[in-house]
Structure 1
Amino acid sequence: MTPSELAAGRVVHRRPLSAGAVLDRWRVPLSIGVLCVLPWVLPSQALAVNVLIYGLFTVGFNLLFGYTGLLSFGHAAFFGGGAYLTGMAIAHFGLGWFSAMLVGVGGASLLAAVVGALSIRTRGIYFCMVTLALSQLVYYLALQASGWTGGENGLRGFTVASADILGLVSVNLLDPVQKYYFLMVFAALALWFVSRVLNSPFGAAIEAVRENETRARACGFDVERTKLLSFVLSGALCGLAGTLSALHLSIVPLDALGVHTSSIVVMMTMLGGVGSFFGPFVGALVFLLIEDVASLWTSHWQLIVGIVFIVFVLFLPKGIWGSLIARARREGETAR
């Protein structure tokens, strides 16, 4: 009860929060809690690391697609760019893991600023095609710069066996469990950051742009600047996922910049739920789990993934997590 209610002698019986409201209020700690137990419930710890990395990649993409309403087909440029810059900083310049990560995230953010400045001038399918074309440009630049990137063989020759944190703790990155929780710290910080962004006035601005760009402009929002900033933040998060991938694999394949990487992040987002907070990790889990299991049965596992994706688009358009959240909210409204 509030002080005014106490002074008036009134007894107010508050309704308990609905499941949807609880999930929204505690989304960051609940998400981190699920990620903490992931290595112990999945078939392998390597799969858990991949879910963590690609889930973070999808979180970055979802910020642009799910919350701002801009569908990009070129986000592999930021994921692969972050991975390549991190690997080159270690392999060619001998930087430490943290400095290399800063180079990767900073470079991906700068690349996103350039791509975003060129692409936000267009709309709809033209926006998609421009981002795809610019991403392919980055792909062919990496292919041709073989002295730096390794060309079609990818970047190799760097390994981060351990990570010293402030000279106090040394994490063995060759141990799967220690590696997972080391990478999870960055994923948790990214989730906290995204939650803060969504709860800020800027979060309201990007959702206003998503719902009705013309109305948002009429209300006084700088739509172009909002789109560009959202694009840069999205690219930075994808670049962070790329840096974690480089530290995890100790190689950077050229496919990290390819169209396939851009397409699977779209599929993961839609499988988990467009515009949902934890949906990206659910989508990454479902996609990678199907890939892990189906590839044991057949080399044509992509066909199975495609069929599952079509079924979800037709019968569960809000995705797995998005549908669960929507159902919880409906039940909460009905209970009121």
Structure 2
Amino acid sequence: MTRHSHFLIALAIVLAMPLFMRSGSLASEVLIYALAAMGCNLLLGYTGLLSFGQGIFFGLGSYTIALLLTRWPLPMPLALLAAIAMGALGAAIIGSIAIRQRGTYFVMLTLAFAQMFYFIAYSLPGLTGGDNGLLDVPRPSLSVAGQTLWPLATPWQYYGFVAALFLVAFWLLRRVCDSIFGRTLLAVRDNEERAAAVGYNLRLLKLQAFVISGAVTGLAGALHAMMTGIAPLSNVEYHTSEMIIVMTVIGGTSNLLASLLGAAFYVLLGDWLSTLWPRWLLLLGVVLMVVSLGLQRGLWGLGENLWALVRHKKNKPDATAEPTESNPVERSGGLV
């Protein structure tokens, strides 16, 4: 499928969600976590880097916009840009150290950074609110020169704003992945030694992927804080990183549209299971085990397999069809 077809499918999903979902906040949550999953997919699916530091960038975006909208009031668009920049800066610092190692040691470094950042945030209540987080994060309307361009008072109005940002980010990331840079990341993922022998600067490529991933994840964290009205400490826990990774794997790696499917599956399934049983995470764990054992390519891979099966059945000749006059071989049962 082409880049344009992927974008049209994403646009169709975004437009269809208000028709099938009653909660605007839940719909916004799906797109926010889809943004975070796309940032993770750029690292895991395209670069082959399993990072447990995504929660750091998510939390940086949340804290940045919360501080800029409450303590140092800035216009909301500028606060969003600052959250994106802070996520990118945090990714640049962490990535420059983590990419010095590979494999298990790389994963351990990102996990160590996640734990360290959590305890730093916990130990600075004057800045981050500590265990309580930063409360009363406003959701100002998008305005220019005092004129309101886009009100964000209701959940569905905010969903429209999140949907617009999601589509812009999706289009930009698709261009990145389809560019020479994106193809080079795939080469690094598939065979680092050969990519290095060709002459590619592996550290620079990985660092650039880290920065882009951090920027997108920082945007997701900022939008989440505006949606909930709080920048909680839980946003920087390593459990947030685990959740983002699970969404990415469930949807399918090396495909940005699959990240949207994975986020929707995780968020909507979790919301439904929570109404059935207080310990719904046990049920979610069973579902995740089934996905891990039977769907190694994620939901996107399952959809591709089903589509290939349907096309195979459609193109398969019918053995019970009557022989036609134009084919004497069929009428005679074969060559004599």
Give me the TM-score of the superposition, normalised by structure 1.
Answer: 0.89
1:276-301 Cα distance to aligned partner (Å, 9 max, x none): 22111111111111211111111111
CA distance in 1, matches of 2:294, 2:137: 45
Question: Is the aligned partner of 1:284 residue 2:280?
Answer: no
Question: Is the aligned partner of 1:308 residue 2:287?
Answer: yes
- Counterpart of 2:72 in structure 1 is 93
- Counterpart of 2:250 in structure 1 is 271
1:234-269 Cα distance to aligned partner (Å, 9 max, x none): 111100111111221121110000011011111111
CA distance in 1, matches of 2:264, 2:237: 21
- Counterpart of 2:333 in structure 1 is none
Q: Give the alignment partner of residue 221 of structure 1, picking from 183, 186, 200.
A: 200
Q: Give the alignment partner of residue 116 of structure 2, picking from 130, 137, 140.
A: 137
What is the CA-CA distance between 1:115 and the residue it aligns to? 0.3
- Counterpart of 2:303 in structure 1 is 324
In structure 1, give the amino acid aligned to 2:168.
L
1:170 aligns to what SS in structure 2?
A: strand
Q: Percent identity?
A: 37
1:274–1:322 Cα contact (<8 Å) kept: no
2:295–2:301 Cα contact (<8 Å) kept: no
Q: Which runs of 5+ in 2 are unaligned?
A: 316-336
1:273–1:323 Cα contact (<8 Å) kept: no
Question: Is the aligned partner of 1:71 residue 2:50?
Answer: yes
CA distance in 1, matches of 2:146, 2:95: 38
In structure 2, give the amino acid aligned to 1:272.
G
Comparing 106-115 and 26-35, the one that deviates more:
26-35
What is the CA-CA distance between 1:327 and the residue it aligns to? 5.5
What is the CA-CA distance between 1:326 and the residue it aligns to? 5.5
CA distance in 2, matches of 1:241, 1:322: 25
CA distance in 2, matches of 1:307, 1:231: 32
1:11-63 Cα distance to aligned partner (Å, 9 max, x none): xxxxxxxxxx35x5411122122112212212422211110101111011111
CA distance in 2, matches of 1:330, 1:63: 29
CA distance in 1, matches of 2:305, 2:213: 24
Question: Is the aligned partner of 1:230 residue 2:209?
Answer: yes
Question: Is the aligned partner of 1:52 residue 2:31?
Answer: yes
Question: Is the aligned partner of 1:159 residue 2:121?
Answer: no
1:109-145 Cα distance to aligned partner (Å, 9 max, x none): 0000000000001111111110011111111111111
In structure 2, give the amino acid aligned to 1:106.
A
1:297 aligns to what SS in structure 2?
A: coil
CA distance in 2, matches of 1:276, 1:330: 21
CA distance in 2, matches of 1:68, 1:331: 32
1:83–1:243 Cα contact (<8 Å) kept: yes
1:116–1:228 Cα contact (<8 Å) kept: yes
CA distance in 1, matches of 2:76, 2:160: 16
CA distance in 1, matches of 2:200, 2:307: 32
2:61–2:219 Cα contact (<8 Å) kept: yes
2:52 aligns to what SS in structure 1?
A: coil
Question: Is the aligned partner of 1:128 residue 2:107?
Answer: yes
**Which stretches of structure 1, 4 residues or more, deviate above 4 A after TM superposition?**
165-169, 326-335
Larger Rg: 2
Comparing 186-195 and 28-37, the one that deviates more:
28-37
Question: Is the aligned partner of 1:244 residue 2:229?
Answer: no
What is the CA-CA distance between 1:167 and the residue it aligns to? 5.6
In structure 1, give the amino acid aligned to 2:109.
V
Q: Give the alignment partner of residue 108 of structure 1, picking from 78, 83, 87.
A: 87
Question: Is the aligned partner of 1:179 residue 2:158?
Answer: yes
1:320 aligns to what SS in structure 2?
A: helix
2:206 aligns to what SS in structure 1?
A: helix
In structure 1, give the amino acid aligned to 2:185.
I
- Counterpart of 1:35 in structure 2 is 14
Question: Is the aligned partner of 1:258 residue 2:237?
Answer: yes
Give the aligned CA root-mean-square deviation in angstroms: 1.9
Give me the TM-score of the superposition, normalised by structure 2.
Answer: 0.89
1:26 aligns to what SS in structure 2?
A: helix
2:135–2:230 Cα contact (<8 Å) kept: yes
CA distance in 1, matches of 2:254, 2:70: 37
1:276–1:322 Cα contact (<8 Å) kept: no
- Counterpart of 1:16 in structure 2 is none
1:74–1:262 Cα contact (<8 Å) kept: yes
